[in-house]
């Protein structure tokens, strides 16, 4: 989002878990790069991390210590329809699911198991399979079921 009223560009980063990220900025103009914690006002608050050096290439490598909506701000100082100089902003995580809830979108999951970051609580009659990182049906808990149906995670052979 580019805002001429606040003279800065804002990029929101939403995370569900604390996680480590890298923000890489590159431009022919050296604008400051600032990162704001969830709930901190990007116009008047103190940045969580920043690089205000004169370098045209900036990198912030930080641990986002709380879940929520983080904001990357690039104060460009433009308050009118002046053309903003092109810049590149890349945001990297250090693992596929570190910043999101590991269990989001997993079938038959009720969310993270208490005190874990990579084990899900499963619905009734399902158990966590750490090899497949999935909730699979617990055939042993179902009367007359003998084993998991071949290739299935939610059907048993009887």
Same domain membership, residue 50 and residue 119:
no
99 in a domain, yes or no?
no
- Cβ-based neighbour number of residue 116 at 10 Å: 12
How far apart CA 98 and CA 80 sit, in angstroms, is 39
Q: What is the pTM of this model?
A: 0.62
Tokens for 49, please give them.
């991390």
Same domain membership, residue 80 and residue 125:
no
Same domain membership, residue 114 and residue 71:
no
Same domain membership, residue 84 and residue 114:
no
pLDDT in tens, 61-74: 998 888 888 999 88
pLDDT in tens, 6-41: 567 888 888 877 788 899 989 888 888 999 999 999
Same domain membership, residue 24 and residue 84:
yes
6 in a domain, yes or no?
yes
Residue whose tokens read 């179902």? 142
Structural domain for 48, as ranges: 2-93
What is the torsional sign of CA 53, 56, 60, 66? positive
Same domain membership, residue 7 and residue 58:
yes
Same domain membership, residue 87 and residue 13:
yes
């Amino acid at each position: 989002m580019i805002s001429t009223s606040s003279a800065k560009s804002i990029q929101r980063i939403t995370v569900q878990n604390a996680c480590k990220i890298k923000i890489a900025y590159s431009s022919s103009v050296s604008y400051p790069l600032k990162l704001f914690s969830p709930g901190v006002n990007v116009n008047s608050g103190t940045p969580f991390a920043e690089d205000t050096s004169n370098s045209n290439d900036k990198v912030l490598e930080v641990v986002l210590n709380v879940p929520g909506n983080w904001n990357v701000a690039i104060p460009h100082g433009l308050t009118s329809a002046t053309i903003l100089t092109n810049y590149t902003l890349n945001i990297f995580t250090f693992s596929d699911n570190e910043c999101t809830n590991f269990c989001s979108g997993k079938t038959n999951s009720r969310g993270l198991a208490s005190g874990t970051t990579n084990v899900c609580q499963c619905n009734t009659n399902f158990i966590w399979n750490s090899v497949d990182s999935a909730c699979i049906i617990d055939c042993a808990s179902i009367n007359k079921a003998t084993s998991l149906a071949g290739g299935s995670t939610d059907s048993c052979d009887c």
